[in-house]
Amino acid sequence: MFSKFFHFLSEADPSVFAAVVGAIATVLVGLGGVFLTQIQLRKRAADEAHRSIKVEFYKEFLDVVAKMIVGNSDNVDITPPSEQELVKYLVEFKTNIMLWGSPQVINATLKFSEMSSTGKGNMFFCLDELYRAIRDDIGLSNKGLDNRQLIKMYLSDPSELDDPEKLQAILSELETDEN
């Protein structure tokens, strides 16, 4: 069948040949566009379905971290989770991250966990990186946010993160409260 068609085209008038090739190209481009659109729509639908799940467990994580940061303040009546509650929650969170998190979130979570367990590095900087990865994963832009802007929102004096001495005092206070 195809051989007869190509034989017909090879013997056809050049204007007929050009018209047939143009029509075939138009059909192929149209089909390609339809398939590409369908793929994009399916991906968008899957991303949107996953987004609601991600937002739920990311929100829980933000709430736990906020309780830990703000719970150390005498000005707020928020109790940070106990060590056992925190460990249990983090196991659940990491399981969710493995299933739903982007590579950026997984890497930022690992970096934050390593820093938390070794004490090497700055918890606030790693947490800010994790927050940015979370925002990016759920489709929010970080454009226009300064460094550590997301963490500064929890502090009564956001400039503390910019002053190395104040920052060290905060970190020391958090370590003392944990012990």
78 token code pair: 């928020």
**Domain assignments of the chain as residue spans, ordered by start:** 49-178
Integer angstrom CA distances of residue 170 from 63, 130, 154: 20, 20, 13
> Which pLDDT band, with edges at 50, 70 and 90, does 58 fall under?
very high
Average pLDDT over residues 77-105: 91
> Which pLDDT band, with edges at 50, 70 and 90, does 85 fall under?
very high
3-state SS, residue 77? coil
> Which pLDDT band, with edges at 50, 70 and 90, does 72 fall under?
low
Lowest-confidence region among 22-26, 42-46, 163-167, 169-173: 169-173
Distance, in Å, from the CA atom of 86 to the CA atom of 83, rounded to the nearest integer, reads: 5
Q: Residue 157 has what pLDDT? A: 78
Q: Residue 134 has what pLDDT? A: 96
Report the mean per-residue pLDDT for the chain.
Answer: 83
Q: Residue 94 has what pLDDT? A: 93
Range ranked top by mean pLDDT from 27-31, 103-107, 156-160 = 103-107
* pLDDT tens digits along 108-137: 999 998 888 776 667 888 899 999 999 999
pLDDT at 170 over 80: no
Q: Count CB-CB contacts under 10 A for residue 156.
A: 9
pLDDT at 176 over 60: no
Integer angstrom CA distances of residue 143 from 131, 140, 147: 13, 9, 11
pLDDT at 177 over 60: no
Distance, in Å, from the CA atom of 177 to the CA atom of 71, rounded to the nearest integer, reads: 10
12 token code pair: 């056809």
